[in-house]
Amino acid sequence: MVDARIVQTTRALHAAVLQLASQQPVSTITVADVTRAAGINRATFYSHATSPGALLTAALTPELDEIRADDRTFRSEGTACPVATRRALERVVEHVVRHREVYRLALPDALDASIHQALARHFETSSVQHLENLPEGTLPEGLSVHIAASAYAHGLVGAIEAWLVGKRTSRRTLLDTMSLMTPSWWR
């Protein structure tokens, strides 16, 4: 059984770092900023995370993990791949929109790439799982699943970043673009 104090401290830390990261790039957030906002001491912070970027990643990752688990279940029920892929992309975009200011500030942060890497890792892990479960003969001959998944993942993160910081377009435009970026053999 997990100690209720640990759960409460984790929630306080996650809430604090999410609030701070919605106001400034993660590279400018200090441990002192987080501890002050969470009402904890420095030693407690370091028992939960190594840096504000790592803490922010820990705060956002459970939602992404849930999306991946739901996608795996959805696909295992025999849902057509294009439908499942679009649904998974929609859910990730909803997650990004829910944390819009965090991602808007964190993705282009050249001094702390933790959120860019976390989002790319989500897409890459999900993609590898999907590609490895496609029927034999579906993938183009000679294709490296790992390389293809990484390229696709980083492309999707780039599309999300461009959408957040670039010329204002609709969420549907982002989703349509991401869907069109998906190779036909992928689906």
Q: Which amino acid is at 18?
A: L
In this structure, which long-range contacts are made by residues 110-116, counting pairs with CB atoms below 8 Å and at least 24 apart in sequence?
110/27, 111/25, 111/27, 112/25, 112/26, 112/27, 112/52, 112/53, 114/26, 114/51, 114/53, 114/54, 114/56, 114/57, 115/26, 115/53, 115/56, 115/57, 115/60, 116/157, 116/161
- CATH fit for domain 4-46, picks 3.10.110.10, 3.40.50.720, 2.40.110.10, 1.10.10.60: 1.10.10.60
String of DSSP letters for 95-111: HHHHTHHHHHHHTT-TT
Q: Collapsing DSSP states into helix, strand and coil, what is residue 150? A: helix
pLDDT at 3: 82
Q: Report the alpha-carbon distance of residue 103 to residue 137 in Å, rounded.
A: 37
* Right CATH for 52-181 from 1.10.357.10, 3.40.50.300, 1.10.150.20, 1.10.340.30: 1.10.357.10
**DSSP 3-state assignment of 44?**
helix
Domain borders along the chain are 4-46, 52-181
Contact call for residues 122 and 152 (beta carbons, < 8 A): no
Tokens of 60: 């956002």
- In degrees, rounded to 5, the angle at the alpha carbon of residue 153 between the alpha carbons of residues 184 and 170 is 80
Distance of CA 84 to the CA centre of its chain: 18
Are the C-beta atoms of residues 131 and 145 closer than 8 Å to each other? yes
Q: Is the pTM of this model over 0.75?
A: yes
pLDDT of residue 121: 97
**What tens-digit pLDDT sequence spans the chain (187 residues)?**
768 888 999 999 999 999 999 999 999 999 999 999 999 999 999 999 999 999 999 999 999 999 999 999 998 887 678 888 999 999 999 999 999 999 999 999 999 999 999 999 999 999 999 999 888 888 999 999 999 999 999 999 999 999 999 998 999 999 999 999 998 888 6
